[in-house]
């Protein structure tokens, strides 16, 4: 049997293990990206490794999350990033240049390369045929130092696209359909590879929308082949020399094949509070809308916003709607202005935001109390918008634009097919990389403001872990539940301060009593349901609980990135052998694990003593990950190796 495009790239980068599904493998990483919310800590950890320069083909540091500078913290961290990046050989994309995934696709992505990013939506790069994977910042720091990235060799799910999208049906509807079919749960250890004649009808921005939001499936990554569509996109970006053809073999083997007929799809919506809570818009259209927000790394390309601007031309947003538009990059912004399309957006009554993550991460533009907000981004977790009672619906830019005009959820298929603004891909894009600062030799010291701390210190695994069950939560606990974003992100480089907000919106007293217990030598365990750690790659969701004294999380299942992050910071991620035991455990009960290093060395079985009974658990960790746990975390392990 032949190879998928995914396996072709993995095999060309393989340095450890065998390319067989389920086996742990190590791959070389060609490129890395970070953003300021996760990158600051990643670079502090890189500095702690005492490596003089990055060893990747290319590493880029983007400022796109915390661009609001209300107080010194974000501005100081941006100065730290720029001076540190220059010293160690990292490109620096200034605030205002755009969202990391959009800019990387435009200016740096290379078909056939591996990309590791400290952001869960790094798989956007799969839109041009990359193996692009989101990971915790410490994993990215190790990759920048030349270390392999370790992962479970994935099973590859093939989604074959046939047919052609009807007017008013979009790439966003394709990925919403995939989420309806596969859901957000049960896909850990998989990669989605798109093939079939239908992919020839999708531009690179449309493909990137699909791979971007594929992160919500919980898969390792998603990718399209690199073909003539890819080549034309790179040519328009003046980067045709980066193109190589990467196609699956005709007899490629896949773990599962799903066929989707694009011609049968209709506009869809992800309803609160999960990206897989999918409905057809035709079933709920007419619902009153309070806010419409168009942008984010999912749907803020030139093609997206040119379509929106054309829909809005000579029209006004409904007076009851708060209407927001944020271009994905400065390139998009400038091209909209050059082509006169920005005028249509402004004249419609849209509030034009800077090219940043903004509303997607709850950094501004929070909806009103219990407000219904239509958004083109990728996540609608409860409270993520900045309003705890906000009702977030995820839709295509076309649906969002039409709804902004009517003040209600509009079904695009109610529009005449011949009125759909089919926007062709530009033959050339405006190229201006002046806000991307290349690394250069400088005697300027690395700037460290008062909000910059040290990377977290962890201790080797202790012989006995004893303490109390500090918290019990249900299914689909996201990293936003664990570590709130929005205004709290400014503390990302100050672990003692950021730790004050662990589980702030679940139990605001958690951090206080957990830290007090740690001072008394009492450690904490967390009990959880399925899919613990969904969402962002935010390693602070492991670092800060570790700082407070959390040493064990027992769940029915974990998501990939968070499980790895827990191990990287010395926390045991354990899975119930019998899910019925979840119902037998409650907060404030005592727990203990005896002879911990010996159990971790031996393998996977971990008995946990809870209130006098034994709860049998499994530690899903490779031999290498068990060594990391024994050393107390990946930083200790890596420094020892170096």
Reduce the DSSP state of residue 161 to 3 states and report it: strand
Q: Which of 536, 537, 557, 563 is catalytic?
A: 536
Q: Is 146 exposed, middle or buried (0-12, 13-18, 19+ CB in 10 A)?
A: middle
Query: Where does residue 538 rank: exposed (0-12), middle (13-18), buried (19+ CB within 10 A)?
Result: buried
Instruction: Give yes or no for a contact between 215 and 378, defined as CB atoms under 8 angstroms apart.
Output: yes
**Given the residues 4, 13, 36, 64, the one annotated as active site:** 64
Catalytic residue among 538, 560, 562, 626: 538
Q: In the 3-class helix/strand/coil scheme, how is 319-366 assigned residue by residue?
A: CCCEEEECCCEHHHHHHHHHCCHHHHHHHCCCEECCCCCHHHHCCCCC
C-alpha dihedral, 365 to 495 to 501 to 85, nearest 10°: 10
For residue 566 the two structure tokens come to: 């827990």
Which residue spans within 6-127 are E strands per DSSP? 14-16, 24-27, 31-35, 58-62, 91-93, 114-117
- Catalytic residue list contains 139: no
Burial (CB < 10 A; 0-12, 13-18, 19+), residue 264, is exposed
Contacts with 58 (C-beta within 8 Å, 6 or more apart), sequence order? 30, 31, 32, 91, 108
Residue 538 bears catalytic tag = yes
Catalytic choice (65, 166, 551, 626): 65
536 is catalytic: yes
Give Cα separations from 431 to 30, 107, 198, 330 (angstroms): 23, 9, 30, 10
Active-site residue (options: 379, 481, 530, 540): 379
d(CA 453, CA 494): 5
> What's the start-to-end Cα distance of the chain, in Å?
40
Distance of CA 573 to the CA centre of its chain: 20
Known catalytic residue: 373?
no
Q: Which of 119, 411, 480, 631 is catalytic?
A: 119
- Which residues partner with 528 through β-bridges? 555
Q: Are 39 and 81 in contact (CB under 8 A)?
A: yes
On whether the CB atoms of residues 539 and 546 are closer than 8 A, the answer is: no
Is residue 30 annotated as part of the catalytic site, yes or no? no
Residue 375 annotated in active site:
no
3 state SS of 25: strand
Catalytic residues: 64-65, 119, 379, 536, 538
């Amino acid at each position: 049997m032949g190879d998928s495009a995914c396996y072709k790239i993995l095999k060309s980068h393989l340095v450890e293990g065998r390319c067989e599904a389920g086996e742990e493998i190590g791959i070389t990483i060609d490129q890395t990206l970070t953003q300021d919310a996760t990158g600051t800590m990643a670079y502090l950890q890189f500095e702690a490794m005492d490596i003089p320069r990055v060893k990747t083909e290319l590493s880029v540091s983007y400022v796109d999350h915390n661009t609001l500078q209300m107080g010194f913290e974000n501005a100081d961290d941006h100065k730290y990033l720029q001076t540190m990046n220059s010293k160690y050989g990292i490109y620096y994309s200034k605030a205002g240049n755009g969202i990391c995934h959009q800019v990387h696709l435009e200016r740096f992505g290379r078909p056939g390369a591996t990309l590791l990013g400290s952001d869960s939506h790094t798989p956007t790069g799969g839109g041009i045929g990359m193996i692009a994977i989101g990971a915790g910042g410490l994993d990215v720091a190790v990759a920048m130092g030349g270390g392999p990235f370790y992962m479970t060799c994935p099973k590859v799910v093939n989604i074959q696209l046939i047919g052609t999208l009807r007017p008013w049906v979009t790439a966003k509807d394709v990925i919403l359909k995939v989420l309806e079919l596969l859901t957000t749960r049960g896909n850990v250890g998989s990669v989605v590879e798109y093939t079939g004649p239908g992919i020839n009808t999708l531009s690179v921005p449309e493909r990137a929308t699909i791979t971007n939001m594929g992160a919500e499936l919980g898969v390792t990554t998603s990718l399209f082949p690199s073909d003539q569509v890819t080549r034309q996109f790179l040519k328009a970006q003046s980067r045709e020399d980066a193109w190589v053809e990467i196609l699956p073999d005709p007899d490629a083997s896949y773990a599962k094949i799903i066929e989707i007929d694009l011609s049968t799809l209709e506009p869809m919506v992800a309803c609160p509070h999960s990206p897989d809570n999918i409905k057809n818009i035709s079933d709920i259209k007419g619902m009153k809308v309070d806010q419409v927000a168009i942008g984010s790394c999912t749907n803020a390309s030139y093609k997206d916003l040119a379509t929106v601007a054309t829909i809005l031309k000579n029209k006004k947003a409904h007076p009851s709607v708060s209407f927001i538009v944020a271009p994905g990059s400065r390139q998009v912004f400038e091209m909209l202005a050059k082509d006169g399309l920005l005028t249509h957006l402004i004249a419609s009554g849209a509030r034009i935001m800077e090219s940043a993550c903004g509303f997607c991460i709850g950094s501004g533009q929070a909806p009103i109390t219990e407000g219904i907000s239509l958004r083109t981004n990728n996540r609608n977790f409860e409270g993520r918008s900045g309003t705890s009672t906000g009702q977030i619906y995820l839709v295509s830019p076309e649906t969002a634009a039409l709804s902004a005009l009517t003040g209600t959820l509009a079904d695009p298929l109610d529009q005449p097919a011949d009125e759909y603004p089919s926007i062709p891909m530009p033959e050339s894009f405006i190229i201006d990389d002046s806000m991307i600062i290349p690394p250069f030799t400088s005697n300027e010291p690395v700037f460290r403001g008062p909000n910059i701390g040290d990377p977290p210190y962890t201790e080797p695994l202790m012989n006995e872990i004893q303490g109390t069950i500090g918290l019990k939560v249900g299914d689909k606990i996201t990293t936003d539940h664990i570590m709130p974003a929005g205004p709290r992100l400014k503390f990302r480089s100050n672990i003692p301060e950021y730790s004050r907000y662990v589980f702030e919106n679940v139990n605001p007293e958690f951090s206080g009593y957990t830290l007090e217990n740690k001072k008394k030598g009492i450690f904490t365990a967390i009990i959880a349901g399925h899919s613990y750690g969904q969402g962002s790659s935010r390693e602070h969701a492991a670092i800060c609980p570790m700082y407070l004294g959390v040493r064990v999380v027992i769940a029915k299942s974990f998501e990939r990135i968070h499980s790895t992050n827990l191990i990287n910071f010395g926390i045991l991620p354990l899975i119930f052998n019998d899910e019925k035991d979840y119902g037998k455990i409650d907060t404030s009960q005592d727990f203990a694990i005896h002879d911990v290093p010996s159990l971790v060395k031996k393998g996977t079985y971990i008995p946990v003593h809870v209130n006098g009974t034994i709860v049998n658990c499994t530690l899903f960790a490779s031999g290498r990950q068990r060594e990391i746990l024994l050393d107390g975390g990946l930083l200790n392990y890596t420094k020892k190796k170096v």
